[in-house]
Amino acid sequence: MRPGFSSTILSRDKVDTLLLLTACLCVLLPHAGHVSWWVTTGCGCMLSWRAWLTLTGRRLPKTWLLLPIAGLLMLGVYLTYRTFLGREAGVTMLVLLLTCKLLEMHAKRDLFVVIFLSFFLLLSSFFYQQTIFAAAFTLLATTLLLTAQLSFQYTGLVPTLRKKFKLSISLLGLAIPLTLCAFFLFPRIQGPLWGLPGDAHNGRSGLSETMAPGGISDLVLSEEIAFRAKFDQPIANKSMLYWRGIVMSDYDGKTWSPAPAGTRNQTAMISFSGKKINQQIILEPQGQRWMFAIDMPSSSATFEERSVGQLNQYMELRSTEPVIQRLRYEIASTPQFQFQLDLEADERIMDTDLPNGYNPRMHNFATQLRRNYSDDHQLIRAVLDYFHDQEFAYTLEPPLLGINSIDDFLFKSRAGFCEHYASAFVNIMRAANIPARVITGYQGGVLNDVDGFFEIRQSDAHAWSEVWLKGEGWVRIDPTAAVAPERVTQNLARAIPQKGLAGFMGQAFSGISWVKGLHMRWDALNNSWNQWILNYNQNTQRNLLDSLGFKNFDWGQISLLFFMSGCVLISVIALPLVLNKPTISPLDRVYFSFCSRMEKLAVARKIDEGPQAYLHRLRNELPGDKLTPVEHFLNFYTTAKYGKHDLSDRSVTQRLKVLLAACR
236-246 pLDDT, tens digit per residue, is 677 788 999 99
- Positions of the chain with pLDDT lower than 70, given as ranges: 1-9, 155-157, 188-206, 217, 236, 261-268, 304, 487-516, 519, 534-535, 553-555, 577-578, 581, 644-649
> What is the amino acid identity at position 123?
L
Closest CA to 197 of 36, 321, 118, 88: 88
% of the chain exceeding 70 in pLDDT: 86
Length of the chain: 664
Q: What pLDDT sits at residue 266?
A: 54
CA 639 – CA 500 distance, rounded (Å): 79
Q: What is the DSSP letter of 158?
A: -
Q: Are 24 and 118 in contact (CB under 8 A)?
A: yes
CA 382 – CA 434 distance, rounded (Å): 14
What is the CB neighbour count within 10 angstroms for residue 49? Answer: 15
Element (H, E) at 278: strand 277-283
Q: Exposure of 219 by Cβ count < 10 A (0-12 exposed, 13-18 middle, 19+ buried)?
A: buried
Residue 442 CA: distances (Å) to CA of 228, 289, 295, 491, 545: 12, 16, 10, 11, 38
Closest CA to 480 of 430, 523, 416: 416
Q: Which residues of 59-79 are buried (b: 16+ CB within 10 A; e: fewer)?
A: ebeeeeeeeeebeebbebbee
Cα 541-224-201 angle, rounded to 5 deg: 60
Q: Are 295 and 333 in contact (CB under 8 A)?
A: yes
Q: What pLDDT sits at residue 346?
A: 87
Q: What pLDDT sits at residue 516?
A: 65
Q: What pLDDT sits at residue 217?
A: 67
Q: What pLDDT sits at residue 6?
A: 41
Q: For 307-331, give the secondary structure using H, E and C.
A: EEEEECCCCCEEECCCCCCCEEEEE
Element (H, E) at 175: helix 161-185
Closest CA to 268 of 315, 318, 301, 300: 315
SS3 of 437, please?
strand
Q: What pLDDT sits at residue 513?
A: 65
Q: What is the DSSP letter of 106?
A: -
Closest CA to 536 of 229, 331, 279, 325: 325
Q: Tens of pLDDT along 414-449? A: 888 888 999 999 999 999 999 999 999 998 888 888
SS3 of 284, please?
coil
Q: Exposure of 274 by Cβ count < 10 A (0-12 exposed, 13-18 middle, 19+ buried)?
A: exposed
> Is the pTM here over 0.75, yes or no?
no
CA 398 – CA 447 distance, rounded (Å): 30
